Amino acid sequence: MSQYLLSERPSESIQSIQPRPFSPQARVRAEEIVAAVRDRGDDAVLSYAREFGELREGRPLFSRNDCLQAMKRIDPEIVDLLERSAARIRAFASAQRSALSNVDISIPGGAAGHRIIPLERAGCYVPGGRYPLVSSLLMSVVTARVAGVEEIWVATPRPSDEMLAAAAIAGATGVLSIGGAHGIAAFAHGFAGVAPCDCIVGPGNSYVTAAKFLVSAHVRIDMLAGPSELVVIADRSSSPALIAADLLAQAEHDPEAVPTLITLDRAIVSVVSNELERQLAGLSSAPTARAALQNGCVVVVPTVEEAARVSNVLAPEHLQLSLMHPERIVPLLKNYGGLFVGEGSAEVIGDYCAGPNHVLPTGGTGRSRCGLSVFDFIKVATWLRIDDRTQANDLYTDACSLAELEGLPGHRAAAEGRIND
């Protein structure tokens, strides 16, 4: 099958793919940058920003008012587009937030529970290199605002007026005109009067991801996201043209992206390959997409159950079900970042404007976590209250016994002193 853009692999050979989210070289460089920012503060951040040509108009920071002014300078139709997209993201995040509630249960002698507490300050990283991702700004900032975060900063190199306008619409406090590992370090250690953030979210290149890993010991992060991934599960009812378009939409992200086709119909393999060639001919991002196709594969399977098994092994970032009866396979699917059910549910609208978040786990980590959500911007803080010590005697007694079992006499004394007090 070497003549096809996607090489065929037998389903039994499919293994979980867990590439490193960043290279060893990126980690070494990021360590140098993070340490410099930690030790030298703003001077180091500005030095790197100037080195990489990231400052817009020589300015390191744009206030909320600057962002509001940018809205007046761009096409009103673009403003409307950003506002519509933000509204859908906000509606979905609001529904997620409404699913969370405080807990209050009775215990002997009192009560216990938890409170939902938003984080105070969030840093949202937005890539500004090959493709400035306005959509990523909306996805992260709107979600943080709905979660109740009071102060939300964006870091992105050379922000355009469209990016500044998106920040205003999403509810950002302001925008830092910096990127890379030093942008992450600025979030972690503070920069230009902005205090250190409580969490850092958003996708980025290998250096950004390495920096997130390095600061994660003292700052909460969302995930260590690697190159984009898409698995399309298709049958003979699927449109080869749409399959090819979906695969290329992810392939054009990055030469390291991983587009994969799982099909129940061998006959469409050659047709999809021809479609890929045809569509690549008119695609300005063809060199990137063609390189990414070499990372993926096509897997022909006999049953829906086997398709689900292979998909669960891969745990892809995006999972597109281009099937006649997609509802049959949904209960069998356990591991993925985002699920797109039916051929009309194009993954690309999930990337942009449908509502669910597009910051999703990669590299097989969909087995253990989900995409960015309001949950990333809150704390679930437990509490306990004893009002009647006599009624709580059973708790104190059990605590004494457990302390003795563990060999901690101070713990026992602290509990024992409250029995019948």
- The residues assigned a catalytic role are 317-318
* Strands of 23-150, DSSP E: 61-63, 103-107, 110-118, 121-125
- Torsion on CA atoms 363, 367, 371, 377, rounded to nearest 10: -110
**158 CB-near residues (< 8 Å, 6+ apart):** 53, 54, 55, 56, 128, 177
Sheet containing 297-300: order of strands: 7-8, 297-300, 258-263, 229-234, 318-322, 338-341
- CA dist 383 and 7 (Å) reads 55
CB 297 within 8 A of CB 8: yes
12: its two tokens: 């039994």
CB atoms within 10 A of CB 277: 13
118: its two tokens: 């938003």
314: its two tokens: 């891969």
46: its two tokens: 């500005």
CB 199 within 8 A of CB 122: yes
- CA dist 184 and 205 (Å) reads 12
- CA dist 366 and 319 (Å) reads 11
- CA dist 114 and 331 (Å) reads 32
